[in-house]
Structure 1
Amino acid sequence: MAHRSNQAVASQEHPAPQTPNGEPPRPVRRLLIGWSTALAALGVSTAALALALWLTRFPIAEFILSGALAERGVEADFEILSLDLGGIVLRRIRVGAEASPDVSVERIETRWRWVGPVPRLESMRIVAPQVRIRLNREGELSLGALDRMRRVPGVRRFSVPAIDLTIEDGRAFIVAPFGNLNATFQGAGTLGTDFSAVGRIAESSFPGGAYALDRGAADLLVVSRDNGIAFRLDAVADELVWSGARTRDAHVRLMGRAPLDVARYELEAAWRIGALRAVDVSADNFSGAIGAEAVAQGTSINPQTWQARGRLNASALTLLSNTFAQLRLEARAEGTDERGEASWTLAAQRFDGLSLISEQPSANGALAFEFERWDMRGETQLALFRSRLNADTQQRIRRAFPDFGGAPVGPTFARAERALDAAADRFNLTIPLALSRANENLRIFIAAPAEARAATGASLRLAPLRQDAPALVLQWPGPTLHGALSLELAGGGAPSASLLLDTATWARDAPFDADGTLTLADWRAQNASIAAHELGVSITVAPTGAGRVDLRGPASITGPLGQGEVRDLTPNLDVAILWKPGWRVVPNSGCLPTRLGGLDAAGLSFSNGNFALCALNDALIAADSSDNLSGGFIVRQLALNGRMAGPGAQPARVTSQSVAGRFSGRVGNMVLALEADTPRLSIQMDEDRTLAVALRRLTANAHVADNWRVEGAFESGTLTDPALPGSVSTIDGTWSAAPDNGRPVIRIASGDALVTANRPVSEDERSLFQPLRLANVSAILREGRLDAAGDIVLDAESHQLAAFTAQHDTDTGVGAAQVVAPAVTFTEALQPHQITERARGIIANVRGPASAVADVTWSREDIDARGQVILNGVSFATTTMPIVQDVRGVVVFDDLFALTTPPGQEVTVGLLNPGIAVRNGRVRFQLLPEQRVAVEDAAFAFAGGELAMQPITVKLGQEETRIVLTLTDLDAASLIAALNIPDLAATGRLEGAFPLLLTARTAYIENGVLRALPGGGTLAYVGDAGRNATGITRIAFDALHGFRYDSLALTLNGDISGEVLTEIEFTGENTGRPVDLGPIAPVPGLGRVTVRGVPFVFNVRITAPFRRLAQTAASIVDPGEILNRANGDTQVDVEVEEPPPVDLQPPGTR
């Protein structure tokens, strides 16, 4: 037929027939013949065609329908039950695969009527339609084979025919990831008049993991009345799980309405979800609605005019960890078929995200656009009022400004931290954004300043660097970023900082690059500051996130160092800060030249120092991807020259072989280990005096986190000063520093040092003290005041002598120390020469308790040491005094280094025995330089009177010492008893003087005199020495049995330890038993003559050991010689034996 159809069409293109002779027929006849032939042919053809079409109507219909479906690639099958001029009936319609059809209909009945030559559909009945719908995991709907029948949406407006439509027993099978849903639908009525249809998905549940449905259901209602049509779809689910996203208590409603000619239309959607949880989204009480109205164009479904509105509410909504509380979003839009305008507002009670929390967040914007090319322009204003940074961000800010305590940057960092911390507690943030799209280029940019202004007055402002260009522009296609901006921080106590980026560029798969300058103009706190004027800055960030910041130029730091100050510490920066993996700070070209304007510490002031700061292990500081810190720095051959503070301004110098610092720990808990190799401080106090402190090593481990602390040690130190009596060496110990009430406090613990006396100037001089050890030394340096304490121990015997406390003011250089020895007991194991070599050979065999207190004061100009020694019954021997016992008293020293005292020092002596024992003495003296003693007064109770020493100055340790002892008002009886003279009794009062020459071995009496005071006294010898004597000797002994003298004198010369020449002269008369004068003066004829009251003159010269001189009378072997001494000069040597006990009662009268 096609072929015939094609042929018929081709015959119409042949030229009209001509007469044989080429002439046209005659008009009338030819017209009649033509019409007749044409009518006949038409009638026959029409009848034949109608018959043919009627006979072949089923195959033709099948061909047309099958061809239309095949043309769209749809596999289909159907059967035509009937076809006539009024309608068609199809049955067993199938679309899609035979085994699993996408659509199947048991029967379709269609009726139409003819309006002229055009049929018009009047009714349609669809029986048992079944539709299979597939919903994949991406949420896409598929109708299977029917998808191929979809056309690209057109703009031609269509109309809904007003027909009778009946749908019976319809079913839909929805294949979803969680399971298969079954729906039923049916409807009946005339469209535009009384049509209604309903569909329903019964409540269903499909438990599962990633995909699940609990108690889900849906209802669809379609109504067509008043020449319009409307629908409403309600869907609910107690819980729906889709690819891990979970909703609870969800309600959705979709509605739409339009007239049958679709001249206008309305669409609405509303939802209410109790809870939504997904990977990057969560919401509670999430609800909203969207509605749109449009007036269609005359020949197109596209809108001529339109308007839309929408709202969204949520009690809580979280997007990418950004949470809104009580969110409200409203938007409106309107326009024509060519352009539109929209506006929107957003508000919430709280926003928590982007590292901040806002109690009054809001935003609004407006947008104008064109449909043809989608060009647009718009503006947005974001406002986050009553904001504060969240706790983590504030903690990161605090960590960015660690507590450096007494370091130079400590006050500036602390003030910046306080200012930014306070500013972060309450501020308002506004960000204006603009948008434009033209020629398929989309741009989002910041053309006006964005600002965060705190309640404290601090502000952070981002603004365009140039007036004719935005600060930042983000552009598509790309995306790309470019701009020029200024970022300024000021006010509220925050540092005044300005970052000016002349260029900032970025593109996809390309690094971000920026260049500019950084200025720190007014970063100050008290007497500390950090300044950098136009520090060059270059920033590069690679697509991988790795990047670097280069800083070039000088930065100046001024601030405290402990209780001192650093001024204008200015490193000339040329460093790079690199990150990912981790981060590190490295010098770009070797070491960093560093200038030191000034350094004041511990009463010293240094100025104009220069050194090189070099990196250890290629990084000044670094951290790996786990935030473990490393790197460090070193300064080699450090040398600083300066002066002491104060009017003297003595020159000072600090040197060190090297000073190194190594970082360890973690970010936020940093440890900086500092080590100085052979540090040395020397101060030239005057032309001949240089004070020097040197250490082999000084370490400090600084821990910097929320707070800071330093722990360190010092090793093998020495302290030398010619003004001191000795030097200090092997100084070892540990130290620490930490803040206390915001002030740095330095503590020294477990300190130890050896104190050695200076070498004597000459061989004759001895060292002031034996080596001492300072042990258990502890010290605290707080606010410029050093307080120290410790023990003083004999180094050789480890015997603790004393404890000390000390104070020093580092600002004034004034200090004091007190040494207290509360109880030093001298024994055989502890002697003074073990404390001071100057006591050796001078004092020995010391026994007994003593205590001492020494007070030492110093300034920058001099040092003074005073003290006192308390003797509590000390006994000892000296080179010239073999026995000194029970010495008590307080000796005050006005110069401990020279061992001198003021005049008037007084002690009591229980017993002094240089050969003659004296007791209960009182000695007043003064210690003079060069080991001299000025005896001002010395008196002892002796023999009922007093033995005193005349004032004299002696030098301790010399070979000879001359003293003069005076005897005053001695009682003769007491003297006899003190001298332990046997068989002799005496009365009377005596006086005298004994010049003594004291040596290391003995004492010499030089012209010592003892004489009786006026009034005389008595002598009585009652011993047996003269019992067998005869002659003159007998007369002498008889006279001495009771003798009253009126004058008596003794003269002594000689060695107390050896022979003493004693001359005794006394005169008087016997008063005891009568003396028989017969042997010397016989009277003839009278016989035996005895007399009383005979005057005698005794003149005796005796050489004998001094200690036995008093017993001479008990050992006289020739008493006659005694009497002969009155007439001659005979020397009598008397040997004295150990005497028997003395009978103190005088002999009776014979």
Structure 2
Amino acid sequence: MAQDADQAEEARPAGRKRRIAGKSAGILCIALLLALAIAWLQRERIVDDVIADELAKRGIEATYTVESIATGRQVLTDIVIGDPALPDLTIERMEVLTNPRFGMPELRELRLTRPRLYGSYRDGQASFGALDPLLFTDGEEPFEIPDLSVVIDDGRALMVTDYGRVGVKLEGAGHLRGGFSGELAAVAPEVDASGCSVREASLYGTVAIDAERPQFAGPLRFARLLCEDGGVEVAGAGVELVLQAERNLGNLSGSYDLAAESVAISEIQAALQGEGRFAWRDDDLTLDYDLVAGDAKTPYADFASLAVEGRVRATGSFAQIEIEGDLAGEDLRMGPQLDGAIASLAEAGQGTLVEPLVNRLGLNLARALRDSRIDGSFNLRLQDGRASLAIPRANLRGQSGGSILSVSRGQATFGDGGLPRFAGNILTGGEGLPFIRGRMEQGASGAVEMRLAMREYSAGASRLTIPDLIVRQTAAGGLTVDGSAIASGPIPGGMVRSLAVPLNGSVAPNGDLAFWRECTQVQFAGLVVANLTLERDAIRLCPEGAQPIFRQTDAGLRFAATTDSLDLAGRLSETPLRIASGPVRLAYPGTATAQNVDAILGGDESEQRFSFAALTMTLDGGDPSGAFTGGDIKLAAVPLDIGDADGGWAFADGVLRIDDAELTVQDREGPDRFEPIIARGASLVLADNVINANALLRNPGTGIPLSRIDIRHDLDTGAGFADLDIDGVTFGEALQPDDLTRLALGVVANVEGTITGNGRINWNEGGVTSTGRFSSESLNLAAAFGPLQGASGTVEFTDLLGLTTAPDQRIRIAAVNPGIEVYEGEVSFQLVEGEVLQLQRASWPFMGGTLTMRPITMRFGEAEERSYVFVIEGLEASRFVERIELGNLAASGIFDGTIPVIFDADGNGRLENGLLMSRPPGGHISYIGELTYEDMSFFANYAFAALRDLRYDRMEVSMNGPLTGELVTQVRFNGIGQGDTAERNIITRAIADLPIDMRINIRAPFHKLITSIRALYDPSAVRDPRSLGLLSDDGVRLREAVDQETVDVMDAAAAAEAERELQQRLDAEPGAEPDIQDDESDDLP
């Protein structure tokens, strides 16, 4: 009993506990239900407070309306987030479906009606205004797609960016981790980014999510894409896209199918279509492509179609890119730039060997490319600004299948700051195309070396061969060139044969060219320019200083070279030619100069020499021009040389001109027949191988114009002529004949008068002829035989250069005074070779008769004795007395005789064996004046009266002695008797029947002879020696002689006292008068 009691007692407290616990639970449930009831009744206010607190905590400004709150479903309307005036998001109606659970309910589905989102993208940052705190957090957790379903009805967004405005529309429904599907559309009327612009771009397609992987399928289209700086333009393009993103949205893959009406990249244009797949994973891109360009046009080639298939790999966010592929093209054609380059090269080489070679190349290349095919493979790698292109193989084949261009093992590297690096093999060929074989390889030092060789390529007479050419790449990225070229064919105005030019130079990394830093030998087998042919020769060209001969930089082209000398041989037409010179310098732009230039035409017998001390030519890209100094021209056919020629020249439109030249014309013969004459302002024109020149020739000492000369010479035929026109050369104090020719010395002097005339010189292969006619209306001069006045007439030269006249040239002479002045004569002569003067005849009317000079031959320039023999026929004594003004004498009789005047080699003249004889029956001589001597003795007056009128049967007058000294004249009378007026006396009657031979000797200078004869009968004709200063007043001799100039001065001063001085002479002592007849006259024969 006790045990039961204990058990009962222990059991009671437990029951109470259960009852208390049960009551507490009931109370809690009642309280919870009460709270829930209260909360349900206040649910909209509670939800509103929760949303408001959460938005306030995140700093988001928003307004909304709670439409309804129910278990598992809440509805908000008129949601506006951000500034109500410019909201960032508006939602007309949002319905949230949840699954009730303890704690926060589970979000099951979100339904949005007409949501409108507004955002921006500025300076690389996206912003959605008040939504930014919700969208952009600092968390590093990977992106995860929300686990809920979404229904979007007419959702739209507008993004305003730095590049343009983009509008988006989205509709769809489904779970975001799988099952969502909908439609997406985006439009961008105008987008500009990074120098490119896109117009009328649109995107439309379906969107879906499968296993948390978003997908898109649909076309991307745009009307035009333009990148002006990059030269890219795409029109009418569309890309059909199929895209799928991974769960983290960081990886993307898909496929594309594109088509573009026109794609232009720089000068490349084509219609493009193609397809392929791509994958972007962990910043790496893999893209397969299969593209076809239709009607592709490039600057160098056009394709009917060009297909490229391959793969693109990019790693490290495009830090490294590799593009590999195979290409195949059909129906190639030359592009406009290649075609234009060939045409321009042919045009630039017009008239040279380049033109036919390039024309043949262009014609055959165009023919070979018809229906041609190209195939090959390539691999392009881009990294760190460098590019490497590998071409394992590439072949261009013509319609026949023959190879036009083949490349193998090609390698090119770009972007090291220098020139591209190349390696590989090339081979060109084909019918009518040059055969070129080249190999590029990289040496142990890393430098690339290319070896080229081209077989002879010909077109007509043009040929070009490149036996070897080595192009090496330097460590700095430049190139060196070493090789040679051999060319034959036309050049401007001629032909060149086997011109061998070494090619050695360099190309700097910046593209500057420098060739021939050392002396270079240029050789040719033959050179023809116009009618000039040069034989095989070589010219050694050397650079000036440290600069190369040829340079091409940004500043332009420079060419400077020198050569020590030239020694060239050849022909001008068929005439042998040799050209030699001293140093020659060429500088472009600048001046070309040549020293001591000597050109010789013809052989020894027909040599024509053109020499210049210096020749210059301006080289500035325009028409060549220059100057020359020290010119000497000698034509074998013309015995006149041109020397000291200076002037300027210019060459334009195939015409060579020389203007304003100065030169000297001189006789080639030695000693000179002509004194040098000069020309100023001379001009010359060489056109169509014909020279036309003119100049005004002048006397060098005075500048007096002498003759205008016009020259024409045909270089083809070697024929020409020169016309001389003398308008009038006046001789006087400023100009004398011996100023023009030494041949006038000793022949004529003191010439006064004007000569006019013209001459003509002709030359051809047969020789030289020259003629001329020269006239004067009145010419005064002093000749060896006496002063001559009024010479007139025309002289005709049959050989003007040889100074040979036609025979019997006649000159009229108004007066000549060989001692006694004679008038109105005529001289006939002939000049032979400028050395021999043949006086064939000279005659004058002379005192009732004639004075004739016998023919004489004189050789100019030779020391010889010359004899002038004057023949007197029919001289009337009465007219002689009248002519010499012997007023107190009367004479009669006819005389004949000769007067030889002889000049020795030194020019000293004398009369030798001069003789005048009276004709029968003689004559008489009488004194008809009054006696003037008052102191004469009776017997003297008696004798004079008896002898004042003498009759003679024969009279001889002989003359001998020097012209400049004392001349001895002997007068001999035979058969003397008294005349009718003489007084007869015992003496005359006593001697009347005796034979009387009377001889008289007269000694006097030649020019005083006539005065002395007059003094025989008229003492007033004798000058008072005191008046001449020969004697003093007391008869003392003061000097031996007095010159004529002094006498003339005295006469001018004492003319008024002539009569008084004559009376003083008569009153002087007898010794003061000169002897008329010396005592030794009796001793003469």
For normalisation by structure 2, the TM-score amounts to: 0.65
Structure 2 counterpart of 1:552, from 440, 463, 482: 482
Structure 1 432/512 Cα, relative in aligned 2: closer, same or farther at 3 Å?
farther
**1:561-599 CA-partner distances (Å, limit 9, x unpaired):** 997876545344443344626332244xx4224445456
Structure 1 955/682 Cα, relative in aligned 2: closer, same or farther at 3 Å?
closer
Structure 1 291/396 Cα, relative in aligned 2: closer, same or farther at 3 Å?
closer
**Partners in 1 of 2:656 and 2:710 — Cα distance?**
17
Contact 1:91 1:106 in 2 (8 A): yes
Structure 2 counterpart of 1:484, from 425, 439, 448: 425
Contact 1:388 1:426 in 2 (8 A): no
Structure 1 959/953 Cα, relative in aligned 2: closer, same or farther at 3 Å?
closer
Cα distance, 1:846 vs. partner?
Answer: 1.0
Match of 1:19 in 2: none
SS of 1:775 mapped into structure 2 = strand
Contact 2:914 2:958 in 1 (8 A): yes
SS of 2:819 mapped into structure 1 = coil
SS of 2:620 mapped into structure 1 = strand
* AA in 2 matched with 1:1062: V
Match of 2:1025 in 1: none
**1:1084-1115 CA-partner distances (Å, limit 9, x unpaired):** xxxxxxxxxx9999976554554247757854
Match of 1:738 in 2: 651
Cα distance, 1:377 vs. partner?
Answer: 5.7
**Partners in 2 of 1:724 and 1:184 — Cα distance?**
102
- What is the correspondence of 1:804-883 to structure 2 with a 5 Å cutoff? 804-808=709-713, 817=722, 820-851=725-756, 869-883=774-788
Unpaired runs of at least 5, structure 2 = 1-28, 175-179, 280-285, 316-321, 934-939, 1003-1007, 1021-1073, 1078-1085
Match of 1:591 in 2: 519
Contact 1:792 1:801 in 2 (8 A): yes
Contact 1:1032 1:1079 in 2 (8 A): no
Structure 1 966/594 Cα, relative in aligned 2: closer, same or farther at 3 Å?
same
Match of 2:959 in 1: 1053
Structure 1 counterpart of 2:204, from 251, 255, 258: 255
Structure 2 counterpart of 1:1107, from 1005, 1010, 1019: 1010
Cα distance, 1:877 vs. partner?
Answer: 0.6
* AA in 2 matched with 1:849: T
Tell me the matched-pair count.
Answer: 917
Structure 1 counterpart of 2:843, from 936, 939, 945: 939
**Partners in 1 of 2:136 and 2:123 — Cα distance?**
18
Structure 1 counterpart of 2:821, from 894, 917, 932: 917
**Partners in 2 of 1:159 and 1:383 — Cα distance?**
59
Structure 1 141/392 Cα, relative in aligned 2: closer, same or farther at 3 Å?
farther
Contact 1:713 1:733 in 2 (8 A): yes
Structure 1 92/1101 Cα, relative in aligned 2: closer, same or farther at 3 Å?
same
Contact 1:387 1:426 in 2 (8 A): no
Contact 2:108 2:149 in 1 (8 A): no
Identity %: 17
Match of 1:280 in 2: 230
Structure 1 1025/1116 Cα, relative in aligned 2: closer, same or farther at 3 Å?
farther
The CA RMSD over aligned residues, in Å, is: 6.9
Q: Does 1:712 align with 2:611?
A: no
SS of 2:734 mapped into structure 1 = coil
Contact 1:434 1:444 in 2 (8 A): no
Contact 1:554 1:573 in 2 (8 A): yes
Contact 2:972 2:998 in 1 (8 A): yes
Cα distance, 1:104 vs. partner?
Answer: 8.5
Structure 1 818/1064 Cα, relative in aligned 2: closer, same or farther at 3 Å?
farther
Contact 1:539 1:547 in 2 (8 A): no
- What is the correspondence of 1:110-125 to structure 2 with a 5 Å cutoff? 110-111=96-97, 125=111
Match of 1:502 in 2: 439
Structure 1 812/96 Cα, relative in aligned 2: closer, same or farther at 3 Å?
same
Contact 2:303 2:332 in 1 (8 A): yes
Match of 1:174 in 2: 159
Structure 1 range deviating more: 835-844 or 967-976: 967-976
**1:1-52 CA-partner distances (Å, limit 9, x unpaired):** xxxxxxxxxxxxxxxxxxxxxxxxxxxxxxxxxxxxxxxxxxxxxx9xxx9x
Cα distance, 1:673 vs. partner?
Answer: 2.5
- What is the correspondence of 1:2-17 to structure 2 with a 5 Å cutoff? none
Unpaired runs of at least 5, structure 1 = 1-46, 193-226, 404-409, 454-459, 664-670, 761-765, 1084-1093, 1118-1131, 1136-1150
SS of 1:1107 mapped into structure 2 = helix
Cα distance, 1:475 vs. partner?
Answer: 13
Contact 2:520 2:542 in 1 (8 A): yes
Q: Does 1:661 align with 2:586?
A: yes
* AA in 2 matched with 1:954: M
**Partners in 1 of 2:135 and 2:708 — Cα distance?**
106
**Partners in 2 of 1:438 and 1:673 — Cα distance?**
50
Contact 1:535 1:551 in 2 (8 A): no
Match of 1:633 in 2: 561
**1:743-778 CA-partner distances (Å, limit 9, x unpaired):** 3x4333343345677897xxxxx7544454443343
- What is the correspondence of 1:344-359 to structure 2 with a 5 Å cutoff? 344=292, 346-347=294-295, 354=299
* AA in 2 matched with 1:1060: T
- What is the correspondence of 1:674-693 to structure 2 with a 5 Å cutoff? 674-680=592-598, 686=604
- What is the correspondence of 1:322-471 to structure 2 with a 5 Å cutoff? 322=267, 329=271, 331=273, 344=292, 346-347=294-295, 354=299, 363-365=305-307, 367=309, 379-381=327-329, 388-389=336-337, 397=345, 401=348, 411-412=352-353, 432=374, 434=376, 463-464=405-406, 469=408
Contact 1:918 1:940 in 2 (8 A): yes
**Partners in 1 of 2:314 and 2:80 — Cα distance?**
42
Q: Does 1:267 align with 2:218?
A: yes
- What is the correspondence of 1:533-572 to structure 2 with a 5 Å cutoff? 533-540=466-473, 548-556=478-486, 568-572=498-502
- What is the correspondence of 1:872-911 to structure 2 with a 5 Å cutoff? 872-892=777-797, 894=799, 896=801, 899-901=803-805, 903-911=807-815
Match of 2:3 in 1: none
Structure 1 1022/653 Cα, relative in aligned 2: closer, same or farther at 3 Å?
same
Match of 1:951 in 2: 855
Contact 2:689 2:714 in 1 (8 A): yes
Structure 1 791/559 Cα, relative in aligned 2: closer, same or farther at 3 Å?
farther
Structure 1 303/1026 Cα, relative in aligned 2: closer, same or farther at 3 Å?
closer
**1:845-876 CA-partner distances (Å, limit 9, x unpaired):** 11111246566677899888775654442211
For normalisation by structure 1, the TM-score amounts to: 0.61
Match of 1:1008 in 2: 915
Q: Does 1:702 align with 2:619?
A: yes
SS of 2:352 mapped into structure 1 = helix
Contact 1:447 1:471 in 2 (8 A): yes
More helix by share: 2
SS of 2:929 mapped into structure 1 = coil
Cα distance, 1:672 vs. partner?
Answer: 4.7
Match of 2:552 in 1: 623
**Partners in 2 of 1:517 and 1:390 — Cα distance?**
22
**1:260-280 CA-partner distances (Å, limit 9, x unpaired):** 99999862344446x967433
Structure 1 964/125 Cα, relative in aligned 2: closer, same or farther at 3 Å?
closer
Structure 1 427/150 Cα, relative in aligned 2: closer, same or farther at 3 Å?
farther
* Higher RCO (CA-CA < 8 Å; seq separation 6+): 1
* AA in 2 matched with 1:710: P
**Partners in 2 of 1:340 and 1:184 — Cα distance?**
30
**Partners in 2 of 1:365 and 1:139 — Cα distance?**
41
**Partners in 1 of 2:390 and 2:527 — Cα distance?**
52
Structure 1 306/709 Cα, relative in aligned 2: closer, same or farther at 3 Å?
closer
* AA in 2 matched with 1:256: G
